[in-house]
Amino acid sequence: MYRTPASNRLHIGIFGKRNTGKSSLINAVTGQDTAIVSEVAGTTTDPVYKAMEILPIGPCMLIDTAGIDDEGLLGDERVKRTLVVLRKTDVGLIVVAPDTKIDNFEEELVKTFKSKKLPFLFIINKCELPGEEAQKYLEESKLPYIKVSAKTNQGIAELKQKIMDIAPGHWSPIPLVADIIDPKDVVVLVCPIDSAMPQGRLILPQVQVMRDCLDSNATALVTKETELLDCLKALKEKPRLVITDSQVFEDVRDMLPAGIPLTSFSTVFARHKGDLNVYIQGVYALEGLKDGDEILIAEACTHHVQPEDIGRTKIPTWFLDHTKKELHYEVTAGGDFPQDISRYKLIISCGGCMVNRREIMHRIEKAREAHVPITNYGILMAYLSGILERIIAPFEGGLVKLDLEFDKAAKGQ
Amino acid sequence: MYRTPASNRLHIGIFGKRNTGKSSLINAVTGQDTAIVSEVAGTTTDPVYKAMEILPIGPCMLIDTAGIDDEGLLGDERVKRTLVVLRKTDVGLIVVAPDTKIDNFEEELVKTFKSKKLPFLFIINKCELPGEEAQKYLEESKLPYIKVSAKTNQGIAELKQKIMDIAPGHWSPIPLVADIIDPKDVVVLVCPIDSAMPQGRLILPQVQVMRDCLDSNATALVTKETELLDCLKALKEKPRLVITDSQVFEDVRDMLPAGIPLTSFSTVFARHKGDLNVYIQGVYALEGLKDGDEILIAEACTHHVQPEDIGRTKIPTWFLDHTKKELHYEVTAGGDFPQDISRYKLIISCGGCMVNRREIMHRIEKAREAHVPITNYGILMAYLSGILERIIAPFEGGLVKLDLEFDKAAKGQ
């Protein structure tokens, strides 16, 4: 996981007065199951960034603000430096001791977190020591807190779970493309323009991938499918990667010279917002379906207008064609899965463009608990068109190891 | 103006029952001062698109929906076709006669316009004829209307003004780059990434220019300034145009080989949302300033945080340096100009990123009425850095003829 770009690490800012045990807390959180990747030492008042792997959260960046405590700096300068750290912070932790007198220092932080709409949590550290001032204040002010002891490890596991729970729902440890491209690469993005596109702009997933290219010191060549060949001709060398909108996938594949890696925006986001391995594994369940099996088609929102109804019309037609089995479908839209999902033989989730990663991972987790295979629209369509291998190939050297064993198993190898 | 891309024409959808005089109305509106550029005849139920120049509105696309009237189609099919037209409509006109019994047909249209948040207007045509049913209904329903006669031309001028008034404020007859690039061109967009950028995406002006490139069948190569040279090397030929964020303008200019046209996003938008000629003319007023002259610096919004204050700090410093005169500054933020602007010798408007074209044109109009030169931040900074000629050069072959005479005059040629 060493290649995780900084932007895909959960940035945890740790604030607190001197002598509340911030350093020992960081050691306790990262102690057993972490690897310190790098530590950038700064001057005493500069925050220290520590890239770490904290299970079960994943890749994190701990920001130790030891220099921004109550003694190091005066009020105004402290606020200024806090704001700089907060620009990079996903979750804020405010550390106090049981006998800490919570005052203007912590109140200032709470105010700033709230104004920035950043999730935060008080940690009453050294809970093995006496003192009730801090807890009393937090109870009265209705501020969220957790009691831990860096010394005895009490509450540390709960703290990590809590951090996961309050982390922004869109946060993902998996980049869009940063881990599969290199600086100076040219990445071609094929963005067809049709009447469903908003006027005068591009859709967010396309822009997000562009930004990830720039953040990786690569460049993005944006084209419609109709100019793709001209734009390839304009380049001296083959591009590193072509990413296309799924709706023109077949056109693009047919015109692209062999040897140019090709994937789709929906695959990029299936990996970033979900679990590509689970989806790939899930899609092979198709081959084992029997007459009478029940399939759950789960759409995340009710208001997304599809030009033709994928869930209700297209999938049943494709499945009949592919499996020759008589299958039963249930379609849910919006909200959560049905209460009992164990009776389904396969769950097919929509692309999830309108929901965040936390929601998608929650669904994947529920499917896993019920031992029901789950896949999504993009992966399913790629599999049915026989292009699954090609669109996942660009990710093979990526951060997430692709587990392709079941592929061979499904093919009887 | 023949090169105006369809997307920069104001699309006016004309609806109404049969025999309300839609065709003669179109003739009256376009009669004296228009040129019919093209007319795509369709089957009788297809809408007819007429590209026209209607003064004072500018380039328009009239959509004649004669086939979607009350007799041509049944309800459902009518709604469906109306929705297709509305996807391209900026302003809707519903034509009735004085004795028209307004019913479900018009009510359906009003409902659809409202749900699409599209501006619309009833036109009581043939107002030289008797009948009060239509007007009575519209008064009671508080729906906006205007009375005209296609026969006598009564109200036609007011109608055109009214269309301008209700047209969406962002609508512009001037494209971003569509008129200065050709199909298959490669346009390089330099987008620096700094801490002021939103996380994980690009800013809207950059995306809008990309989209305009795609709509023009060109491609956009998106890069940071640090990869610009590598990305130029990746191309077989020089790009058609390089557009850069102003903050790295000097870096980009210095590294760009001679002969590659270069401009900035702020110049693109100064032309699209304002009047480039007025701004260029305005900036030369700088050379005639005298001790004691008053300058108005007009910022459009109060909440835009500038890293350093351009209006209050930078401009006075630059001006002193450039003119050696003692000048007085007044800075307004948000709202409108001061009541009396005639005492100013120069007005400098902000980039106007947060306001729409209508608002900017309104300010330009007020400055023109008061005979006060007006320019904007981007053009001013380009002039002071001696790069104005270079950044406006790419627009010389464009839709709007650049009037550069005053340039020579200012230089005493």
Is CATH 3.40.50.300 correct for A6-166? yes
Answer whether B202 sits within 8 Å of A207, measured CB to CB.
yes
Q: Where are the beta strands (DSSP E) in B120-234?
A: 120-124, 145-147, 186-190, 219-223
Q: How far apart are CA B296 and CA B289, in angstroms?
A: 13
B328-333 and B294-299 as β-strands: parallel, antiparallel, unpaired? parallel
Answer whether B186 sits within 8 Å of A214, measured CB to CB.
no
Averaged confidence pLDDT in chain B: 86
Does position B218 have pLDDT exceeding 50, yes or no?
yes
Answer whether A214 sits within 8 Å of B236, measured CB to CB.
no
CB B128 within 8 A of CB B151: yes
Give the minimum alpha-carbon distance from A383 to chain B in angstroms, rounded to a whole number.
Answer: 30
Contact list in B for residue A87 (CB cut-off 8 A) is 195
Contact list in B for residue A204 (CB cut-off 8 A) is 201
Q: Which residues contact B204 (CB under 8 A, 6 or more apart)?
A: A201
Q: How far apart are CA A324 and CA B7, in angstroms?
A: 48
Which chain B residue lies closest to A85 (C-alpha atoms)?
B195
Does position B166 have pLDDT exceeding 70, yes or no?
yes
Percent above pLDDT 90 for chain B: 51
Mean pLDDT of B208-231: 96
First to last CA, chain B: 31
Answer whether A222 sits within 8 Å of B213, measured CB to CB.
yes
Give the minimum alpha-carbon distance from B288 to chain A in angstroms, rounded to a whole number.
Answer: 40
Q: Which residues contact A333 (CB under 8 A, 6 or more apart)?
A: A299, A301, A302
Ramachandran quadrant class, A22 (left: phi over 0; alpha: psi -120 to 50; beta: rest): alpha
Answer whether B213 sits within 8 Å of A230, measured CB to CB.
no
Which chain B residue lies closest to A208 (C-alpha atoms)?
B201
Top pLDDT among B201 and A412 is at B201
Structure-token pair, residue B380 = 């001013």
The H or E element spanning position A232 is: helix A228-233
Which chain A residue lies closest to B239 (C-alpha atoms)?
A234
The answer to which of B64-78, B188-202, B369-383 has the lowest mean pLDDT is B64-78
Helices (H), A355-404: 357-369, 377-384, 388-392
Top pLDDT among B393 and A303 is at B393
Longest CA span, chain B: 74
CB A90 within 8 A of CB A167: yes
CB B148 within 8 A of CB B120: no
Which chain B residue lies closest to A232 (C-alpha atoms)?
B235
Q: Which residues contact B186 (CB under 8 A, 6 or more apart)?
A: A221, A231, A234, B218, B219, B220, B221, B235, B237, B239, B240
Answer whether A207 sits within 8 Å of B211, measured CB to CB.
no
Structure-token pair, residue B10 = 């104001």
Q: Which residues contact B110 (CB under 8 A, 6 or more apart)?
A: B94, B120, B143
Nearest to B207 among A201, A213, A237 (CB): A201
DSSP assigned state of B257: P
Mean pLDDT of B312-327: 91
Strand partners for B257: none
Cβ count within 10 A of residue A34: 17
Q: Which amino acid is at A248?
A: V
Which chain A residue lies closest to B183 (C-alpha atoms)?
A227
Answer whether A223 sits within 8 Å of B222, measured CB to CB.
no
- CATH for A178-268 (3.40.1190.20, 3.40.50.11420, 3.40.50.150, 1.10.3720.10): 3.40.50.11420
Structure-token pair, residue B408 = 């020579």
Is CATH 3.40.50.11410 correct for A276-410? yes
Answer whether B226 sits within 8 Å of A217, measured CB to CB.
yes
Nearest to A236 among B186, B214, B234 (CB): B234
Give the minimum alpha-carbon distance from A221 to chain B in angstroms, rounded to a whole number.
Answer: 4
Does the ipTM exceed 0.95? no
Positive/negative CA dihedral, B140, B146, B152, B154: positive
Top pLDDT among B157 and A403 is at B157
Give the minimum alpha-carbon distance from A214 to chain B in angstroms, rounded to a whole number.
Answer: 6
Contact list in B for residue A7 (CB cut-off 8 A) is 199-200
Looking at chain B, how many residues does it have?
413
Which chain B residue lies closest to A230 (C-alpha atoms)?
B184
- CATH for B275-410 (3.40.80.10, 3.40.50.11410, 3.40.470.10, 3.30.360.10): 3.40.50.11410
First to last CA, chain A: 30
pLDDT digit string (tens) for A128-169?
A: 999 999 999 999 999 999 999 998 999 999 999 899 889 888
Spell out the domain ranges in chain B.
Answer: 6-166, 178-268, 275-410
Q: What local confidence, expressed as pLDDT, does residue A302 receive?
A: 62
Nearest to A193 among B87, B215, B223 (CB): B215
Q: What local confidence, expressed as pLDDT, does residue B352 receive?
A: 79
Q: B6-166 and B275-410: same fold?
A: yes
CB A310 within 8 A of CB A377: yes
